[in-house]
């Protein structure tokens, strides 16, 4: 069913059940690859909160959970390229295996900035796991981007953590803008 959020209409794109299926597949891979590495999962707020919570419930290996916050959309429906560092990662990641958890990689501008910033802290490795990727919008080569739950068309989406004007984060599936 379509939903109205502020002045825009959205239609279903990815169902809640399909998200949970992909999360289980990705978690199984991470549980295997990081079994003896005690990784630090770093969520990029706000958008990651629902994906990260559901993913972590499937992670069965010893690990830490931490957060950082960046913003780049500032309320609209397209990336502004102005990244605001809202709060820094407080965990010492020197010699640690870092798994960054993102809601969406659009142009890649935000992720490119964050990977470069965290790389300066000399982690043992950085891997990125994102719920969504818009391949047609991507402008950066980010080698660390190893896990993508869903590749989606270059359209504005909300739900499951993602917002329009700070609304819609609570929806349990992903919805795309009706144009």
Q: State the sign of the Cα–Cα–Cα–Cα dihedral 61, 129, 155, 163.
A: positive
CB atoms closer than 10 angstroms to residue 46: 18
Minimum Å gap between C-beta 35 and ligand XMP is 29
- Residue 104 as a binder of ligand XMP (CB under 6 A): the answer is yes
Closest residue by beta carbon to Mg ion: 47
Of 102, 144, 150, 154, whose CA–CA distance to 123 is shortest?
A: 144
Paired residues of 40 in beta bridges: 64, 98
* Piece in contact with ligand XMP (CB under 6 A), picked from 9-17, 57-65, 115-123, 152-160: 152-160
User: 13 or 100, CB closer to Mg ion?
Assistant: 100
Residue 103 is given by DSSP the state E
User: 31 or 113, CB closer to Mg ion?
Assistant: 113
Query: Which residues carry out catalysis?
Result: 106
Three-state DSSP state, 49: helix
- Residue 156 as a binder of ligand XMP (CB under 6 A): the answer is yes
- Residue 105 as a binder of ligand XMP (CB under 6 A): the answer is yes
Q: Alpha-carbon distance 145 to 157, whole Å?
A: 20
- Residue 54 as a binder of Mg ion (CB under 5 A): the answer is no
CA torsion, ordered 141, 143, 169, 79, to nearest 10 deg:
-20
Task: Show contacts with Mg ion in window 80-139 (CB under 5 A).
Answer: 103
Q: Which does 106 bind (CB under 5 to 8 A by kind): Mg ion, ligand XMP, none?
A: ligand XMP
Minimum Å gap between C-beta 36 and ligand XMP is 31
Pairing outcome for strands 157-158 and 97-105: unpaired
User: 56 or 83, CB closer to ligand XMP?
Assistant: 83
- Residue 79 as a binder of ligand XMP (CB under 6 A): the answer is yes
Q: Please give the residue ranges that form the binding site for Mg ion (CB under 5 A).
A: 47, 103
């Amino acid at each position: 069913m379509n939903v109205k959020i502020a002045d825009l209409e959205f239609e279903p794109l990815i169902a809640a059940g399909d998200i949970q299926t992909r999360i289980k597949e990705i978690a199984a891979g991470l549980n295997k690859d990081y079994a003896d590495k005690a990784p630090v999962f770093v969520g990029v707020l706000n958008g990651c909160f629902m994906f990260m919570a559901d993913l972590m419930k499937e992670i069965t290996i010893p690990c830490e959970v931490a957060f950082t916050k960046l913003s780049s959309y500032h309320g609209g429906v397209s990336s502004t390229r102005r990244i605001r560092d809202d709060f820094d990662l407080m965990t010492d990641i020197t010699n640690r295996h870092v798994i960054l958890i993102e809601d969406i990689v659009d142009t890649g501008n935000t992720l490119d900035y964050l990977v470069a910033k965290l790389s300066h802290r000399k982690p043992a490795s950085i891997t990125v796991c994102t719920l969504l990727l818009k391949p047609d919008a991507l402008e950066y080569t980010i080698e660390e981007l190893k896990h993508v739950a869903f590749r989606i068309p270059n359209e504005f989406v909300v739900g499951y953590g993602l917002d329009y004007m700070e609304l819609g984060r609570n929806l349990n599936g992903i919805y795309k803008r009706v144009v």
